[in-house]
């Protein structure tokens, strides 16, 4: 089992506790076909693809449909970014894209976006890293519009 979870609170403060939790989740979910589980007082939604398992975890009072929307958004975004090749090697080669996608979907545990098209678009904008001097005027204007729009919405 190779897991990498992002923790937004201190429910499992030590790495040892986090690894034990991750192992427990994997053991309880990797052989089932369902998409939701209750574990240690937490709601867990999950999905597998070839050699990867994706989990979104919330407290017991979180809405399962919202957690599933985050999971589907992440999976669908990655599927588009990896050209439907959602497997471990392709993901490892595009870890930056994964982290950018997660940043676009959630911030500090707060859901920001659930539309994979928007996530992929924003990741593409953030991933371009073209120096300002080499950008066209329309690229600079589009980037400025996006930044202004998101600063006003926050």
Radius of gyration for the chain, computed over Cα atoms and rounded to the nearest angstrom = 17
Q: What is the pLDDT of residue 154?
A: 56
Residue-wise pLDDT for 31-75, tens only, equals 887 899 888 899 999 998 888 999 999 988 899 999 999 999 999
* pLDDT band for position 1 (cuts 50, 70, 90): very low
SS3 sequence of 55-120:
EEEEECCCCHHHHHHHHHHHHHHHHHHCCCCCCHHHHHHCHHHHHHHHHHHEECCEECCCCHHHHH
* pLDDT band for position 153 (cuts 50, 70, 90): low
Look up the CATH number of domain 15-129: 3.30.450.60
Dig out the tokens for 5 from the structure: 């979870």
**At CA 128, angle to CA 150 and CA 51, rounded to 5?**
95
Asked if residues 105 and 77 have their Cβ atoms less than 8 Å apart, the reply is yes
Chain position carrying tokens 């979910």: 29
Residue-wise pLDDT for 63-118, tens only, equals 999 999 999 999 999 999 988 888 999 888 888 888 889 989 998 888 999 999 99
Q: CA-CA distance, 145 to 39, in Å (whole number)? A: 43
Provide mean pLDDT across the span 15-42: 89
Q: What is the pLDDT of residue 80?
A: 93
**At CA 60, angle to CA 59 and CA 61, rounded to 5?**
90
Q: Tell me, rounded to whole angstroms, the distance of Cα 118 from its chain centroid.
A: 13
């Amino acid at each position: 089992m190779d897991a990498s979870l992002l923790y937004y609170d201190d429910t499992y403060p030590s790495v040892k506790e986090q690894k034990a939790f991750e192992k427990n989740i994997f053991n309880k979910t990797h052989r089932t076909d369902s998409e939701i589980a209750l574990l240690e007082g937490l709601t867990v939604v999950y999905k597998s693809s070839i050699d990867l398992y994706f989990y979104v975890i919330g407290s017991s009072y979180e809405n399962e449909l919202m957690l599933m929307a985050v999971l589907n958004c992440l999976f669908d975004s990655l599927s588009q970014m990896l050209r439907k090749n959602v497997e471990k090697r392709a993901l490892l080669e595009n870890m930056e894209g994964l982290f950018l996608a997660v940043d676009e979907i959630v911030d500090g545990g707060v859901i920001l976006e659930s539309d994979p098209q928007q996530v992929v678009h924003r990741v593409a904008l953030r991933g371009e890293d073209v120096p300002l001097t080499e950008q066209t005027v329309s690229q600079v204007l589009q980037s400025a519009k996006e930044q202004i729009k998101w600063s006003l919405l926050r």
